[in-house]
Amino acid sequence: MRIDIITVLPKMFDGPLNQSILQRAQDAGVVEINIHNLRDFSTHKQKSVDDYQYGGGAGMVLMIEPISNCIEALQKEASYDEIIYLTPDGVLLDQGAANKLSTLSNLILLCGHYKGIDERVRQHLVTKEISIGDYVLSGGELAAAVLTDSIVRLLPGAISDETSALTDSFQDGLLAPPVYTRPAEYKGMKVPDILLSGHEANIDKWRHDQAEKRTADRRPDLRE
Ligand code: ADE
C-alpha cells in the first residue's frame, strides 16, 4: 500500500509514523508513507498556501491551487483509490471503514488547517471525507495519523502475529476481553483461576463471555 499525506505541518508526522508497528511496516515494505509539504506546491513568491475568505470572516482558508498542484503531481506517479479529506464534518471513522480502506492500494490523505479549505477542493478533488470523532482538532494532521495507524496495522505482515489485529476490539462487534500477565497474584489481586487452568476451550468461552459482558456494560450500541 502507498499512503501520501498532504500537510502544511510535515513535522507533525515525525513522531507518530516512525515508531513501533508503523515504522516496522514501512521497513518491511508493507506500506510506503510519503509526507508532502503543501508549501512546496505554492506558486506564490512567499510560498503562501492560504488566503482570506470571500465574503469576510475570521480565519484563513487553504487555497485550491497548491492542493490541486500537489494532487496532480502525485497522480503522475500513481493511481489513487481515494483522496481523503480529514474534517470534523466527515463520516465518522470506525473499524469497518478502516478494514475497507486497508484493502485498497493507494491513498491520498489531505489535512486541513486554519478555517478550512476552499469548498471547490471538497467538491471536485476529494473523493471521501472522514472525521475521527465529534470534536474539533487544530488541523487534520493528528486525524491523518490516527487513520493511517488504523489502516496500516491491518495490512498483512504489519503485525507479526497476524491474528492479533483480528482479535482487536470492534472486529467482531465486541470489545476485547480483559488480559493479564505475570505475576499471578499482586498485593492480593489475583488473575482469574480459569486463565491458569490450561483448559483452552474453557478459556475461549470465558474470554467470549467477558467480551459480551464488557460490550453490554460499556457499549450496548455496538450490539444493536
Ligand atoms: N480536523 C479537525 N478536527 C477533526 C476531526 N475531528 N476529525 C478529522 N479531521 C479533523
- Closest alpha carbon to 7 in 136, 135, 140: 140
Q: What percent of the chain has pLDDT over 70?
A: 99
Q: What is the pLDDT of residue 166?
A: 74
**Residue 52 pLDDT > 90, yes or no?**
yes
State the pTM of this model: 0.95
If you measure from the C-alpha of residue 187 to the centroid of ligand 1, how many angstroms do you get, rounded to a whole number? 43
If you measure from the C-alpha of residue 89 to the centroid of ligand 1, how many angstroms do you get, rounded to a whole number? 8
**Residue 161 pLDDT > 90, yes or no?**
no
Residue whose CA is at the smallest distance from ligand 1 atom 7: 131
Residue whose CA is at the smallest distance from ligand 1 atom 5: 88
Domain boundaries defined on the chain = 2-152, 167-223
Q: What is the pLDDT of residue 143?
A: 98
Q: What is the pLDDT of residue 163?
A: 62
Q: Kindly state the cell numbers that stand for 30.
A: 508493507
pLDDT digits (tens, 9 = 90+) for 125-160: 999 999 999 999 999 999 999 999 999 999 999 987
**Residue 162 pLDDT > 90, yes or no?**
no
Beta-carbon contacts of residue 26 (< 8 Å; ≥ 6 apart):
17, 32, 33
Per-residue pLDDT averaged across 13-17, rounded? 94
pLDDT digits (tens, 9 = 90+) for 71-116: 999 999 999 999 999 999 999 999 999 999 999 999 999 999 878 8
Class of domain 167-223: mainly alpha
Cα separation of 150 and 159, whole Å?
Answer: 12
Cα separation of 203 and 192, whole Å?
Answer: 10
Does residue 132 line the site of ligand 1, with CB under 6 A?
yes
Does residue 131 line the site of ligand 1, with CB under 6 A?
yes
Residue whose CA is at the smallest distance from ligand 1 atom 4: 88
Q: How many CA atoms lie within 13 A of 183 on its CB side?
A: 5
**Residue 2 pLDDT > 80, yes or no?**
yes
Per-residue pLDDT averaged across 161-167, rounded? 70
Cα separation of 195 and 198, whole Å?
Answer: 7
If you measure from the C-alpha of residue 175 to the centroid of ligand 1, how many angstroms do you get, rounded to a whole number? 24
Q: What is the pLDDT of residue 47?
A: 96
Beta-carbon contacts of residue 176 (< 8 Å; ≥ 6 apart):
167, 168, 169, 211, 214
Q: What are the Cα distances from residue 141, in Å, to 79, 83, 131, 203? A: 23, 15, 12, 41
Average pLDDT, the chain: 95
If you measure from the C-alpha of residue 140 to the centroid of ligand 1, how many angstroms do you get, rounded to a whole number? 5
Does residue 145 line the site of ligand 1, with CB under 6 A?
no
Does residue 140 line the site of ligand 1, with CB under 6 A?
yes
Class of domain 2-152: alpha beta
Of 9, 86, 115, 138, best ligand 1 pocket probe by most atoms within 8 Å of the beta carbon: 86
Does residue 147 line the site of ligand 1, with CB under 6 A?
no
- Closest alpha carbon to 129 in 89, 165, 167, 188: 89
Does residue 98 line the site of ligand 1, with CB under 6 A?
no
